[in-house]
Amino acid sequence: MKLYIVSNRLPVKVSEQEGRLLFARSEGGLATGLDSLHTDYEKHWIGWPGFCPDGEECRRKTADELEALRFHPVFLTAGQIADYYEGYSNSTIWPLCHYFFAYTRYKASYREAYRAVNRLFCETVCRLAEPGDIVWVQDYQLMLLPGMLREARPELEIGYFHHIPFPSYELFRILPERAEVLRGLLGADLVAFHTHDYMRHFISTVERVLHLDFRLDEVQLGDRVVRVNALPMGINYDLYHGASQKPEVRAAVERTRRLFGSHKLVLAVDRLDYSKGILHRLWGFAAFLEHHPEYRGQVTLAMVIVPSRDHVGSYAELKTHIDEEIGSINGKYSTMDWTPVCYFYHGFAFEELAAMYCVADVALVTPLRDGMNLVAKEYIATKTDNPGVLILSEMAGAAVELSEALQINPNDIGQIERSLVEALTMPVGEQRRRIRDMQRTICTQTVDKWAADFLEELDATRRKNERLRRKRISVGTTAAVRAAYGRAKRRLLLFDYDGTLAALRPRPEDAAPTPELLDLLRRLSGDPANRVVINSGRDHETLERWFGSMPLSLAAEHGGFYKEAGVWHKNLRSAEWDGELLTLLQRFVAKTPRARLETKQTALAWHYRQSDAWLGSLRAQQLVNHLAPLCSRLRLQIMQGDKVVEIKSPDCTKGSEVERLLASERYDFILALGDDTTDDDMFRALSPEAVTVKVGNVSECATHNLAAQAEVLPFLREVTRGEAGPRTAASEGRKGLRLPLGFLKGLLKNNKTRHE
């Protein structure tokens, strides 16, 4: 099995010099982390090689050399790089996700280039990947790719990891094509983030923009679920922890010590980016030197800034400000034998960087917003005999794991200043203890474990989707149910109403039966072999108004009322609702915009379908918490359904109504359909041999699944369209039969047992 890692860039950069191709390692935590990944899969990488070949011959030669390394290039034009990468990716998505709204730029050409390049990546994956292969899409430059792949190659196992922050709904909603981007991400089986905050923001945004409902960490889309998780990325711990033992690193350590002499070394390593808080860090260091003159000549700040997008306007402007600030500090405080800020505007080889980690007394990692930040983990991992202190922004994803760092708000210049003093005066014993505690965390949460956890979660999602698809009603299943329906002498057909026979509506009173539904029910109830029952939570007055003229059996308010032979019967006395209970419910109506209270004779229902998704869910949980002691005292049951909290007597359920029906008559065919958690009571009351169908989300209590309410009437029409011939039915049943073993035999035995 092959694992295709798909990212904007390959882990190598290619350049051409005098007709020769030169390969260099790509900068960045993603390339570094995933390139060192150990996995049992045959690992391939798809991405842009970092340059635009001049001519077809150069392109072919580049592709041949890269593919020998299992690197599959996606060649982009200079215009695509300008609009897709520098434009939409880094001038629209990047600032938006990092909360720099003022830097966000919108252009139609950016969006079109982004779509086109994502399509190019899709075509490359489709050309290479085979059924059973895993496609792991990386990061914000390719957010449309999972959806494109799902449409083109639905059999692929697709994962997506978002390596930058995912902003709150209030910010992401600003993006004009927000729905398109979210649908693209939901093409994956698993969408993962570095922290639970980003995961929470994503779920909230999907619920509000696409009006989909998550159940904990999952949302169902048709015949599959998409799972969302938080998986913090680690580093190759052994590589960094053992670095000081390498001769070339030891030599680099000696050079570094000679360079900085006896000065205390504060190290900062970043890409050039406004999200990294580089200017804030310099302002904090300037305040430190101004207010603590005793450290002048004693402490040096080594600023390593890796060039990145410096031809983008906002980045070029940032570099100018950084250069000016460093010049100002050095001009004000430097002496003949001391420079306060040593500035390196280039990347370092691993050996040189590891040496700086080893020597540095303090690592100053203070991004204003960061997905993870692996520099913090690399610094901690490299420490062995020599102590050190990590000053870490609480806005970095790594702050969740590295609780023993000195965590600061990077916008607070005074706090940066104070943390430097605290770090430089921290006892060596405490430094070592903090380092050890953080190393215990990052030595287990490595990049290999991160990848293994992701792939394990992805595989678990795949297995769940396979189980779901097995429950999904197929052509063969429908044929087998139709054959059993045609042979049966006495049938019981049980239907929930809202969400099953009729689509859910924001206003329940708008969900009146359509002419198409009424025609179907007339036909089914007109067959003397059928007993058709609408088993609903609706009030009986509404059901009577809609269906009273039909020869149907009706059950209302979860079995509190039922109608047989044209007569309504009441299972429960009409409730005299407790004043405290009504006051509580009305209070929650008042503080939840668009919520409403439905008062029935045997139940109370607090609906929040029209409310904001996040607020409605919050209020529902708060309401249940308030109701629990009160309903326990009043001997009432609390039921949480689809956007509704219902309070009723525990003596009647949809399941108790089914038991009543089965006690009065024998059936050799039973079909039950429902969409809500309350319908699970109905499914549980039936024997395993009954055909039970959950509409929407899959239920463990039902044997089959229809993905959407729109499929219900076509399914019922097909099942009941007439008795199939024995030969055809048998052959169709063998092709796709998914009914429980011993379907007819079990039904007969079950009903016989019930009545003996």
Helix (H) or strand (E) holding 304: strand 299-306
What does each C-alpha distance from 140 to 13, 88, 171, 712 come to in angstroms? Answer: 20, 10, 16, 38
Rounded alpha-carbon distances, angstroms, from residue 109 to 88, 233, 671: 9, 33, 54
Catalytic pick among 83, 270, 496, 676: 496
CB 25 within 8 A of CB 11: yes
Do the beta carbons of residue 648 and residue 558 sit within 8 Å?
yes
CA–CA gap between residue 476 and residue 185 (Å, rounded): 32
Contact 75, 48 (CB under 8 A): yes
| Nearest Cα residue to 739 out of 689, 695, 672 | 689
Buried b (16+ CB within 10 A) or exposed e, 405-433: bbbbebeebebbbbbbeebbebeeeebee
Three-state SS at 554: strand
Query: What residues have CB less than 8 Å from 583, skipping those under 6 apart?
Result: none
Strand-pair partners of 282: none
Quote the CA–CA distance of 609 and 748 in Å, as a whole number. 41
Q: What distance in Å separates the CA atoms of residue 144 and residue 185, rounded to the nearest whole number? A: 6
341, 285 in Cβ contact below 8 A?
yes
Q: How far apart are the first and last CA of the chain?
A: 56
Q: How many residues does the chain have?
A: 756
Which residue has 């790509």 as its token pair? 26
Q: Are 422 and 406 in contact (CB under 8 A)?
A: yes
| Burial of 635 per CB tally in 10 Å (0-12, 13-18, 19+) | exposed
Cβ contacts of 581-585, under 8 Å, gap ≥ 24: 581/627, 581/630, 581/631, 581/634, 581/636, 581/647, 584/623, 584/626, 584/627, 584/630, 585/623, 585/647
Q: How far is CA 118 from CA 84, 125, 363, in A?
A: 9, 11, 38
One-character DSSP codes across 560-612: TEEEETTEEEESSPPP---HHHHHHHHHHHHTSTT-EEEE-SSEEEEE-TTS-
Q: Catalytic residue at 496?
A: yes
Give the residue ranges of DSSP H helices in 599-699: 613-634, 654-664, 679-685
Q: How far is CA 372 from the centre of its chain?
A: 17
Q: State the sign of the Cα–Cα–Cα–Cα dihedral 232, 238, 244, 249.
A: negative
Q: How far apart are CA 353 and CA 266, in angstroms?
A: 14
Distance CA 715, CA 475 (A): 10
Question: How many beta carbons lie within 10 A of that of residue 134, not counting itself?
Answer: 21
Beta carbons within 10 angstroms of residue 150's beta carbon? 22
- Picking from 695, 691, 711, the residue whose alpha carbon sits closest to that of residue 703 is 691
Separation of alpha carbons 192 and 198, rounded Å: 9
Q: Which residues participate in catalysis according to the annotation?
A: 496
